[in-house]
Amino acid sequence: MIAGRNLQLWKNQAVSRWQTRSLSVSARSAEQEKLPFSIYIHWPYCESKCTYCNFNKYVNPEEPPVERLTASMIRELDHYLTHPSFGLRDRPIHSVYFGGGTPSLAPASTIEKLLNTIDTHVRLRPNTEITLEANPTSIETAKLLDFRKAGVNRLSMGIQSFNDRDLKLLGRDHTASESIRSLATARKIFDAQGLTFDLIFARPGQTLSDWQQELKQGLDIAGNHLSLYQLSMERSTPLDKLARKGLLPPLPTPDEAADMYEDTIRLTKEHGFQHYEVSNYCKTQAAISRHNFAYWQGLDFLGIGPGAHGRLTMLDQRRFRTFGEFHPEKYMALCEQEGEGIRQMKAIDSAAFMEELIVFGLRTRMGVGRATFEQLTGGMSLDKMLNKEALSACIEAGFLISDNQCIDVSRMAKYSPEEFLSQWLPRGGIRPTEAGLARMDSILPNILNTTL
C-alpha cells in the first residue's frame, strides 16, 4: 500500500529508477507506448442513492463544490498525463468515460474543461469515444445538448425499468414516462449510434412475462446499443437488507432467471441486436462500447475522481491498480496538497493479470487473441494458461472455439470494435459460442490452469 506523502516518495524513486534503466528496458518501453489507454472520470454525487447500488456515491449537497472538484480533477489529470513513469503522454487515447454517481449533474462546462485538459496532453481524435452517464430526469435531459456541444458523443442512460413500482423499489428518482421522453430527446441529439441505456431483470416479484413485455418496450425505442443486466443483490445495500428482513417480493428462482436470460437473447436477436458480451448487445460494430472493451481486453485506464479505480503500467513494465480517495472532501484536499487523489497503489501479480485477461476476455464473443495475450503478458502463452483436457471438452461440447491460425476477421466484426480485430490475424485465439457465454461462470473455473 502506498498512500499520502509516501506515495509521492515512491513516485520520485520510480522516476529515478526509470531514468537509470538499461537500453533493454527502453526497448520494452517503446513497445508499451504503442498501446492505447482509456480514462475513467468519476463524478461522486447523485440526487438520491439507489437501493441496489454499492458504488462510491454521495447525495448531492445543496451547494455542491463544483469549481473545487473540477479544479482537483484537472490537477490530477495534469499530474498523471505528464508523469514520466507512466508515459501516458506518448500513448494514444482510446476512450473517455464519465461515470458515477451521476456525472450529468455536473455542469457541461466541467465536462468541457476536463476534455480540454485531456486534449492538451493527449490529442482527442474525432473518433475517440467519449461517454457520459445520465439519468432520465427532466432537469438532466434539458442539459443533453450542452453535453453534446462540450464533446460528449455517446450517452448512457440509467433507465433500469419501465415499471414505476419497481423504479421506486430500486430507489430511482424518475418515472417510466420520463424515461420514454428522455430517450426520445437523447436520440435526436446523439442519434441511434450514440445512445445506449440499461435495464435490469430478475427483480423482486418480476415474472418472465413481465420481463418479456418490458424488454419489448425497450427494444422498440432503443438506439443501437443496450446493456441488460441480471439484478445482483450486493451485500449491505438497502435492497439486500430489505430482502434479508423478508420485506421484498421473492426474487425469481435460478431457473426463472435463466429463462429471462434466454428470452433476452432471443428477443434482442429478433430486433437485430448482436449479443457481444454477457450483458451487452449492439446493432452495429460502431455501436459496441469501446471503453468497456478497454477493460475486458487488458488496456490501461487512468481513474480520476473520488473513489475511481485505475490500472496503469509503468515504463519498466510493472503494473498497478490505483484506488482514488473515497470521500470528495478528502479527495479534493489530497489533490490540492499532492497534485493527485490516489489513496492506494497496489502491484498487480502477473499470474492474477493473466487470469483476469482470460476471465474478462471469455465473457465476450470475441474471446482472447493469442498475439495480444502474449504482448500484454511479456510473452506468456495463452494455451499454457488453460487446462488442455477441460478446454478440449468445452470445444467438443460446442461451448468454446479455438482458432489456431489466422481467420477471416470479418466474421468477428459484429462482436468487436474494429481496432481490436487485428489481434486475431497472427494466430487466432479462443472464444465462446452463444451456448458457452451462457455457461461461462461454470466454464472458467474448470479451464484455468491452476498448476502454474
Which of 345-354, 382-391, 411-420 comes out lowest in average pLDDT?
Answer: 411-420
Copy the grid coordinates of residue 188: 435526436
| Mean pLDDT on 357-386 | 93
Question: Which region among 33-37, 184-188, 421-425 has the lowest average model confidence (pLDDT)?
Answer: 421-425
Q: How big, in percent rounded to 5, are the helix, strand and coil portions of the chain?
A: 45, 20, 35
Q: Which is nearest to 135 in space by CA: 181, 67, 189, 169?
A: 181
Joined together, the cell numbers standing for residue 215 give 424488454
Digit-coded pLDDT (tens) for 236-245 = 788 878 888 8
CB 61 within 8 A of CB 119: no
Does position 14 have pLDDT exceeding 90, yes or no? no
Q: What is the pLDDT of residue 18?
A: 30
Average pLDDT, integer, range 64-85? 96
How many helices and strands (H and E) does the chain possess? 18, 17
pLDDT digits (tens, 9 = 90+) for 203-238: 999 999 999 999 999 999 999 999 999 998 888 788
pLDDT for 54 equals 63
52 pLDDT above the threshold of 70: no
Q: Maximum distance among all alpha carbons in the chain?
A: 65
Neighbour-count burial of 450, counting CB atoms closer than 10 A to its CB (0-12 exposed, 13-18 middle, 19+ buried): exposed
Q: How far apart are CA 49 and CA 55, in angstroms?
A: 10
DSSP string, 318-336: -EEEEEE-SSHHHHHHHHH
Q: How confident is the model at residue 29 (pLDDT cuts 50, 70, 90)?
A: very low
The strand pair at 225-230 and 195-201 is best described as parallel
Averaged pLDDT, 367-380: 91
Ordered domains of the chain (ranges, CATH)? 4-295 (3.80.30.20), 366-447 (no CATH)
Mean pLDDT within 332-351: 94
Greater confidence (101 vs 301) lies with 301
Confidence of residue 7 (pLDDT cuts 50, 70, 90): very low
Query: What confidence tens digit (pLDDT) does each residue in 114-134 have?
Result: 999 999 999 999 999 999 999
> Which among 324, 356, 320 is positioned nearest to 448, based on CA atoms?
356
pLDDT reading at 405 higher than 70:
no
Residue 47 pLDDT > 80: no
Q: Is 339 helix (H, G, I), strand (E, B) or coil?
A: coil
Q: Give the mean pLDDT of 148-168.
A: 94
pTM of the model: 0.89
Name the range with the highest mean pLDDT among 193-197, 410-414, 425-429.
193-197
Average pLDDT over all residues of the chain: 88
Element (H, E) at 229: strand 225-230
Model confidence band, residue 284 (pLDDT cutoffs 50, 70, 90):
very high
